[in-house]
Chain A
Amino acid sequence: EIVLTQSPGTLSLSPGERATLSCRASQSVSSTYLAWYQQKPGQAPRLLMYGASIRATGIPDRFSGSGSGTDFTLTVNRLEPEDFAVYYCQQYVISPITFGQGTRLEIK
């Protein structure tokens, strides 16, 4: 099973700042099969990025993804109040599909 480790566990920033979230895999993951999700309290996860860097439908361009091999990054530019949530990376190249433990992005 591929283990995904996200850092930091919690990120405290102010609106307008840039957030950089990291996801490290226990073995190499094709960037084609790396996704990011956003989850707000009481809601289902929402697909943000797939293929490591492709925004899902309706996702604003302040969200961007990058990375390859074992290291992937989600960047959120110019944080808006609605961006404060928990973010999960996920790999879907090898079964079982696995998720990182999440990064909580909170308002400073």
Chain B
Amino acid sequence: QVHLQESGPGLVKPSGTLSLTCAVSGGSISNSNWWSWVRQPPGKGLEWIGEINHSWTTNYNPSLKSRVTMSVDKSNNQFSLKLNSVTAADTAVYYCARRPISCSGGTCTPDYWGQGTLVTVSS
């Protein structure tokens, strides 16, 4: 059973950089998966931020692409998100998730999710 756990500061100042890490247990980050980030502003819907695989190939949401960087740390079996130049609009619960690369029968949708971590952008 794969388990994902987000960690990082819960408060970030405007114009600063949001940095989160997702620790993966129960499976290797080098397996054939996309490692994804999804966010949810308070009381609102879900927004896909992007994803990375173990080869450092990335797919970013065009709406955030200019501000997003994702990375993988194989030695610690974790992956990370950096979002720079944040504003109050970036306040959200941030989730990490696993998305299988193999799409047989449509299985390539995020299946395992972390519990989420609230990041507030405020001075």
B46–A88 contact, CB under 8 A?
A: yes
Contact with B along A31-74 (1 / 0, CB 8 A): 11111010000011111001110101000000000000000000
How many chain B residues touch A (Cβ–Cβ < 8 Å)? 24
On A, residues with C-beta under 8 Å from B are 1, 31-35, 37, 43-47, 50-52, 54, 56, 88, 90, 92, 95-102
Contact A45:B46 (CB < 8 A) given known A96-B61, A96-B62: yes
Residues from chain B with a CB closer than 8 A to the CB of A92 are 99, 108-109
Which B residues form the contact surface with A (CB < 8 A)? Answer: 38, 45-48, 50, 59, 61-63, 95, 99, 103, 105-111, 113-116
A27 to B72: give the CA distance in the assembly, Å: 34
Decide if B111 touches A99 in the complex (CB within 8 Å): no
Q: Which 9 A-B pairs have the closest CB atoms?
A: A51-B106, A44-B113, A32-B106, A97-B48, A96-B61, A35-B109, A99-B46, A50-B106, A101-B45
Interchain CA distance A63-B45 in the complex, whole Å:
22
Tell which of A31, A50, A98 touches B109, judged by Cβ atoms closer than 8 Å. A50
- Closest residue of A by beta carbon distance from B107: A50
